[in-house]
A and B are shown apart, each in its own frame.
Chain A
Amino acid sequence: MPTDYAFPDSAAKTANAIEAPEFQTEKMSLSMGPSHPSTHGVLRLQLELDGEIVTGCDPVLGYLHRGDEKIAENMTYNQFVPYTDRLDYLAPLANNVAYACAVERLAKLEVPERCQAIRVICSEMARVSAHLLGLGAYGIDVGAWAIFLYTFTEREKLYKLFEELTGARFTTSYTRIGGVARDVPEGWVEKVDAFCDQFLPILENILNLLTRNKIFIDRTQGVGVISKADALAYGLTGPNLRGSGVPLDLRKDKPYSGYERYEFDVAIGAHGDCFDRYMVRGEEMRQSVRIIKQAIKSFPKGDWYAKDAVRIFAPRKDKVLTSMEELINNFMITTEGPQMPAGEVYFEAEVPKGALGFFIVSKGGGVPYRMKIRSPSFCNLSILPKVCQGNLVSDVVSILGSLDFVMGECDR
């Protein structure tokens, strides 16, 4: 039996050791997915097995490829906002914000503080909701059904708030270049505050169900270990990188949208195993609530869109119908798109899955010449062939869940 790889998992090591040499074993090829419950979408893993031990893993992507980058080259900047909903469809608000910030970077446009605060609250709520789903689904993957019910109850409350803010539960399309679609409704901020207050004790209960759960610990601790060097070499970002002990959080290190105004801690792991990644996500939810509470406490009054950017942000409807100048601007922004200068920018935001980047090449005008979307799930998954090798098949499920990827974003 080839042992040119280490056995990261003690069970796999034992299974390998007790195998008597007189058994002639044959490698088996197993196609896991694209519609396997643990692949969270449409990912196919072409596994090569020796008994129960994975000796090779070749992820097959592209089942959800929609050509978003090609589409982006053919529509105005604002028209692309709904497409960003469908990248990481578990945190559409965070993607909206990342995209708007990227295009505003191109225009060198600063949005008012109120708009920044709204965007921070949206991003952090999206992070909580994405991690809640990731956690619930991870619980199911490793056999803890109850978690899912608790996290989905909380997530539903968040979606109620999203619906009240944006008009949609999932496909929010809330940001516009230079602002947001509409100001927060009356009383909404207080509702978010009330949600945060009741959420924290429930979050502790949820995490308590897993953190000291013997079965959960056995399924995750020491499984799928990613070293610091590997995490950097494969370009991991977000909780997966921090789980391996690299304290890189773009909210802290390259603050955007006013994140520098809020106090929060960056959680990092010590061992880089599945359990550490779970712990990092748990702590991130607490920190997100902390950020939301600060943002609500200092919620600025004033404009919620960049008023001076008349060629970029469409004027209010009441003005459009009464004033010539606004009517023309509205028409031009709708038909020609928000007017951008020529140039190249690359902007990354810390979304729940990691660093979501937009590389925009503009030749001026309202349509990007080229837009590359750097999706965190795509990079996070690229480590699978390395990290699955030498593990048991059941650990593959555990590793997949701990990487917390979304195929809509991976395949774009």
Chain B
Amino acid sequence: MSSLAAAPATDLLAVLQARFPAAVARPSGDHPAFNLPMAEVPAALLLLRDEHGYDLLIDVTAVDWDVEASPRFSVVWHLLSSTAHGYVRLVADCVSDAEPTAPSVVSLWAGANWHERETFDLMGIQFTDHPDLRRILMWDGYPFHPLRKDFPLAGIETPLPDLEVADLTKASVLPAPMMGGPFVASSGEMNLTEAEPRAKDESWNERSAKPAVL
């Protein structure tokens, strides 16, 4: 691994554009950031790791830009150089809005495994060629991806993970109640949406029914 100093943003852009002409700088509040086509991300990460010293994959995550937005999902990678101590951010839009996919980088960093599992679990991004793409924070068989913008804050009622137990006990997993939840408002006559304009999740409240399906 090279111990080259992390190049400043403009140089990195030139480096990336030499290999990947589609790379463009991305507006960022702090670190150098670049947009890339999804397919070129693994090669770009490899280039940054092996030739520019960005040897730590700090984070993999995704952003849901809105239910109607297209492209709806972007996947975000953050790299850190353990020698030159600079960060770089790569962002790629998922081609499909309905079934977002991204290439897995577990072969480059073993630590990407859990990050990608988490992104799949909470955001529903399918990482192709991931060795073991299972849910990690929610339980196996959970039907939703909670960090998507169309998932209500208060959750959706789902059956228990173990169907035998659910049959026996007639239990199910209940969403957290809104009263006493993050937006505690007066428990008087005013309903939550009126009392708490910041509660963006207006799909249901104490007085109107929960959505049956997402």
Contact = CB atoms under 8 A, between A and B. Distances in A.
B63 interface: yes
A138 interface: no
Contact of B110 (A62, A71, A234, A344): A234
B78 A359 contact: yes
Interface string B12-37: 00000000000000111111010000
A61 interface: yes
A386 B58 CA distance: 19
Nearest to A232: B55
B131 to A, nearest CB: 11
A343 interface: yes
A83 to B, nearest CB: 9
Contacts of A381: 114
Given A67-B146, A76-B198, A344-B28, A359 B59 contact: yes
Contact of B139 (A62, A79, A230, A246): A62
Interface in A44-94: 61-62, 65, 67, 69-71, 74-76, 79
Interface in B118-172: 118, 122, 135-139, 146-147, 151, 153
Interface stretch (B38-46, B81-89, B95-103): B81-89
Interface stretch (A146-154, A280-288, A297-305, A372-380): A372-380
A254 to B, nearest CB: 6
A241 to B, nearest CB: 8
Nearest to B66: A369
Contact of A386 (B89, B110, B137, B201): B110
Contact of B138 (A62, A345, A374): A62
A105 B82 contact: no
The SS class assigned to the A binding surface is: mixed
A95 B66 CA distance: 29
B71 interface: no
A65 B29 contact: no
A254 B83 CA distance: 12
A302 B126 CA distance: 52
Nearest to A361: B63
A379 B45 CA distance: 19
Given A232-B55, A254-B85, A359-B76, A65 B137 contact: yes
A345 B137 contact: no
A211 interface: no
B200 interface: yes
Given A70-B146, A359-B59, A370-B63, A345 B198 contact: no
A75 B198 contact: yes
Contact of B57 (A65, A235, A344, A378): A235
B182 interface: yes
Contact of B78 (A237, A335, A346): A346
Contacts of A341: 29
Contacts, number: 118
Given A69-B122, A70-B147, A246 B82 contact: yes
A235 B147 contact: no
Chain B interface size band reads 35 or more
B147 A382 contact: no
Contacts of A124: none
Contacts of A348: 58, 80
Given A344-B26, A345-B28, A372-B61, 14 more contacts: A70-B147, A105-B29, A235-B57, A235-B115, A248-B82, A341-B29, A344-B29, A345-B30, A346-B30, A347-B30, A357-B78, A379-B114, A379-B115, A386-B110
23 contacts: A61-B137, A70-B147, A71-B153, A74-B182, A74-B183, A74-B201, A106-B29, A235-B58, A235-B109, A254-B85, A341-B29, A343-B28, A344-B26, A344-B28, A345-B28, A348-B58, A348-B80, A355-B58, A359-B59, A361-B63, A372-B76, A374-B58, A374-B59
Interface of A: 61-62, 65, 67, 69-71, 74-76, 79, 105-106, 108, 230, 232-237, 246, 248, 253-254, 335-337, 341, 343-348, 355, 357, 359, 361, 367, 369-370, 372, 374, 378-379, 381-383, 386, 411-412
Interface of B: 26-31, 33, 55-59, 61, 63-64, 76, 78, 80, 82, 85, 87, 89, 109-111, 113-115, 118, 122, 135-139, 146-147, 151, 153, 182-183, 198-201
